[in-house]
């Protein structure tokens, strides 16, 4: 298997010396961080890990066997299918198809014959009459996060740690206008396409649809989160509110669909593409993608996947990336709602977070620095990244779908773009997009 170039992530600046998870060679690596456990009494976890009851094969997704990765991804022209079309020979042998996901076009993962290079594979498929797109199969990574000190915000419902989530402040995203009306997002399904989700966390228990989830990283039905990133995102989306415990999420009673595409060691582009397709097939109306890879241009295969999701009625919200540079992939794909991160200024107000990417693709911004949320084992942590900003927007999209189930994806998107505070130059700008999300401006 040919080596893949892994992007080296630069560490986001921290506002305190607290140790944090770090990125090594584009993969996740952990150092000791700040964690808070509360004396909770949830239902005891099951004796065995919860396992999905869904077979991806029933939804035109063939998952590579565990440990298989492949070197190429190819998209076929519309109407073309393998094995109807013959496979080209490379060094006298046929490549193997080890994975498949069907959007409007079939996307295949190809394992090349032993000794063959990626360049040889690209050359063999480039002239094939059935092939539309070719891409090396690369690794994709969860966005790194920080664990800095806590900062206080105004108090709202009776969740005792909510005042530590400055992003929910009345001078910031102003969620009280939603929470005090007890607006429900029950039945709206949000896909957390990430490192999995802890279904036993007291703030999420009963609303993580683990029986519908899937683990595309390990090719099995166990979508539990062993690293914490996906559970942190899920808490910001839908932690139970006004329950006297921990924090509150944007949409207190929304459903979470756990789609695990990576772990602490990383993931692949195919697992992410399969996760997008699977989430749509499982009825998710909002897809939250808190992962990225630096890229000067969008990947055509992710363009296909995001276009497919939108055509099927799902809003796709993507973290912009933490490289202090251009918007990463897949946030730079057309149709993605790319979200940058803001941070508090020392004397009030907000600015673009020091780690956040920016560019013309940015649609919206949201608080992303020093954000407290749920992590596995009944705990809470403060993390920083555009990963934390994206769920503020995804939660707003879920509330809109609940209030307007007959709306189109375009109507939901336009409502989001109008429900924001303009923090930068007037109108859309490369740092904040249309502005920072403001829940009080949502047409609910």
* Measured distance CA(101)–CA(419) in Å, rounded: 35
Tokens coding 23: 């990125």
Phi-psi region of 3 (alpha: psi -120 to 50; beta: other; left: phi over 0): beta
* Measured distance CA(319)–CA(290) in Å, rounded: 5
Residue of 146, 159, 227, 229 marked catalytic? 229
Name, in order, each residue with C-beta under 8 angstroms of 100's C-beta and a sequence gap of 6 or more.
60, 61, 62, 106, 107, 108, 109
Contact at 8 Å (CB) between 172 and 370? no
Contact at 8 Å (CB) between 287 and 409? no
Residue of 290, 356, 387, 394 marked catalytic? 387
Residue of 194, 222, 269, 323 marked catalytic? 194
Phi, psi of 230 (to 5 degrees): -65, -35
Give yes or no: 229 in active site: yes
Tokens coding 146: 């920080």
Give yes or no: 340 in active site: no
Phi-psi region of 306 (alpha: psi -120 to 50; beta: other; left: phi over 0): alpha
* Measured distance CA(426)–CA(444) in Å, rounded: 25
79-86 contacts, C-beta under 8 A, 24 or more apart: 80/106, 80/130, 81/106, 82/106, 82/108, 82/130, 85/128, 85/129, 85/130
Give yes or no: 137 in active site: no
Tokens coding 144: 């790194």
The full DSSP string for 339-356 is: EEEEEE-TTSSEEE-TT-
| Half-sphere exposure at residue 191, Cβ-oriented, CA atoms within 13 angstroms | 30
CA dihedral sign of residues 25, 366, 169, 157: negative
Name, in order, each residue with C-beta under 8 angstroms of 55's C-beta and a sequence gap of 6 or more.
none
Residues marked as catalytic: 194, 229, 387
């Amino acid at each position: 298997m040919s080596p893949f170039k892994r992007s080296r992530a630069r560490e986001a600046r921290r506002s305190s010396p607290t140790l944090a998870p770090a990125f090594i060679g584009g993969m996740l690596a952990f150092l000791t961080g700040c964690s808070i456990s509360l004396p909770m009494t949830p239902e005891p976890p099951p004796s065995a890990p919860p396992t999905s009851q869904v077979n991806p094969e029933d939804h035109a997704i063939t998952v590579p066997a565990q440990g298989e990765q492949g070197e190429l991804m190819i998209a076929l022209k519309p109407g073309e299918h393998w094995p109807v079309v013959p496979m080209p020979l490379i060094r006298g042998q046929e490549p193997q198809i080890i994975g498949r996901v069907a959007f409007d076009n079939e996307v295949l993962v190809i394992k090349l014959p032993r000794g063959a290079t990626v360049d040889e594979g690209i050359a063999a498929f480039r002239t094939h009459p059935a092939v539309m797109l070719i891409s090396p199969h690369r690794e994709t990574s969860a966005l790194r996060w920080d664990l800095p000190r806590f900062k206080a915000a105004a108090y709202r419902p009776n969740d005792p740690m909510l005042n530590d989530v400055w992003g929910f402040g009345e001078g910031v995203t102003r969620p009280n206008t939603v929470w005090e009306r007890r607006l429900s997002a029950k039945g709206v399904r949000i896909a957390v396409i990430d490192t999995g989700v802890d279904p036993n966390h007291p703030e999420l228990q009963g609303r993580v649809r683990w029986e519908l989830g899937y683990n595309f990283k390990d090719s099995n039905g166990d979508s539990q989160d062993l690293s914490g990133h996906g559970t942190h995102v899920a808490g910001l989306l839908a932690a139970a509110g006004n329950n006297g415990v921990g924090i509150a999420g944007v949409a207190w009673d929304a459903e979470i669909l756990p789609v695990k595409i990576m772990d602490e060691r990383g993931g692949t582009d195919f697992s992410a593409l399969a996760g997008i397709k699977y989430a749509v097939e499982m009825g998710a109306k909002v897809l939250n993608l808190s992962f990225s890879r630096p890229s000067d241009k969008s990947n055509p295969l992710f363009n296909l996947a995001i276009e497919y999701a939108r055509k099927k009625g799902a809003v796709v919200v993507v973290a912009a990336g933490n490289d202090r540079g251009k918007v990463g992939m897949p946030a730079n794909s057309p149709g993605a709602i790319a979200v940058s991160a803001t941070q508090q200024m020392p004397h009030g107000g907000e600015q673009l977070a020091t780690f956040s990417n920016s560019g013309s693709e940015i649609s919206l911004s949201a608080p992303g620095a020093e954000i407290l949320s749920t992590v596995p084992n009944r705990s809470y942590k403060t993390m920083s990244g555009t990963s934390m900003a994206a769920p503020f927007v995804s939660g707003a999209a879920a509330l809109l779908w609940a209030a307007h189930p007959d709306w189109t994806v375009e109507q939901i998107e336009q409502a989001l773009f109008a429900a924001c505070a303009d923090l930068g130059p007037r109108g859309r700008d490369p740092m904040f997009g249309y502005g920072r999300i403001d829940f009080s401006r949502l047409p609910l």
